[in-house]
Structure 1
């Protein structure tokens, strides 16, 4: 029974599963309009164990805290970016990177229509409108980069640097005409062991003008290096950049 100050989490059901690249699986989930509207752009996913037909879902307090059931429950909390959400159709689209053997990658690898997961809370991407954009990320940040570019003003200019394993991992990324999407291939280097993103940013001349915003999402060490460059050499203040470690080497790739 749900206490008066708690509510159930929003449970979503898998509608379709598709492999868009060798390491990225796109899962479309269905739920109520309210649940879908609340599920993003950055959403807390409650991921059950593979094959668990009746997960012990937590509840949500009035202040947004997740209240976990006592004892073992087998639910993992992971933060992801919804690549697309459509409250009218009641759909949320999430891309899972299948590197590693963490709970989210395992769930996505086994996901079939009818499987369930839940959402509890959401956040923003941290982006801000600007005349010039620098977007930097690996495959875990590609849904966020795609959303940012899809919502950008058509007159926006800039560059998106995206690190992936190889050419087979490239995806269509619609962008304003003035924004170039540049792919960087690891070509056998393991995720998190490459300096491609930091080197690519270091090789750039800082954009001219005050209307510049940089957004960075990748492995934590790479993000720290790029953030330092943006603050020092580029001279970007707090309001001009958002840099977040999406995952850490040795841990499951998220987002």
Structure 2
């Protein structure tokens, strides 16, 4: 999911013309019902809302993150064309793009995984999240994946929610490999995958996030599969994604419709999604 590197905190954006009241709608506001740590660095927040709001919020979600402890955030509104209409003045709500780890409209529940290292507004909010806290949702979008007989999936902690959903929806006959970069074995998560898809965990072993070449090296070591029934989906730190994308377009010769590679975050800037 996702346009994380283009999303900046809402505060400080230039003002735009405000549509008439009849041309905007309120954002969906979800309430935290449960919080649990999946791994030492990943916190899963369960949100509740009416079925329609949960169904619309994903798989890629534009989350509106308020200040910690703000019980009455100054939420923006949504114009008919989908544009976010921000309130005038400082409001303290930040826009971040995440992938829903789980959507259950029937139960009115949505799970979002937050990577806790970093001090950005979303990670800070998640670290302090407790039942009753609020998050807004501006829109949902697809993951950018496509069905194929062979899959290459590559990502770090921030991409695990998206990769988990891609694997869960893949046909049972799908073959391929998922390259999953995490800090160490304590950060591995259970993932369901077709029998023919290998899950390969890559441990940074003390190297900081965004500083390793594990993903690029792992892709470089893979032979290009035969045939054209192939799709590659890559998401991680921006520089790592650029290196992998160059390999996929060059050595692998993948066309635009055969791959989706996106920088979920950039070293030196706050992490955006946890997938």
Superposed CA RMSD: 0.7
**TM-aligned CA deviation for residue 209 of structure 1:** 1.4
The structure 2 residue matched to 1:75, chosen from 93, 113, 118, is 93
Aligned partners of 1:77, 1:104: CA distance in 2, in Å?
9
Task: Give the match's secondary structure for 2:21.
Answer: coil
Q: State whether residues 146 and 173 of structure 1, in contact with CA within 8 Å, keep that contact through their aligned partners in structure 2.
A: yes
Task: Give the match's secondary structure for 1:13.
Answer: strand
Q: How does 1:40-189 map to 2 (within 5 A)?
A: 40-189=58-207
Q: How many residues align?
A: 254
5+ residue gaps, structure 1, are none
Q: Deviations over 1:161-203 (max 9, x none)?
A: 0000000000001000000000000011110010000000001
Give the ranges of 4+ consecutive aligned residues of structure 1 lying more than 3 Å apart after TM superposition. none
Q: State whether residues 47 and 107 of structure 1, in contact with CA within 8 Å, keep that contact through their aligned partners in structure 2.
A: yes
**Relative CO higher for 1 or 2, CA cutoff 8 Å, sep ≥ 6?**
2
Aligned partners of 1:4, 1:33: CA distance in 2, in Å?
24
The structure 2 residue matched to 1:199, chosen from 205, 213, 217, is 217
Q: TM-score, normalised by structure 2?
A: 0.91
Structure 1 partner of 2:266: 248
Structure 2 partner of 1:25: 43
Q: TM-score, normalised by structure 1?
A: 0.99
Aligned partners of 2:199, 2:226: CA distance in 1, in Å?
19
**TM-aligned CA deviation for residue 146 of structure 1:** 0.1
5+ residue gaps, structure 2, are 1-19
Aligned partners of 1:135, 1:70: CA distance in 2, in Å?
42
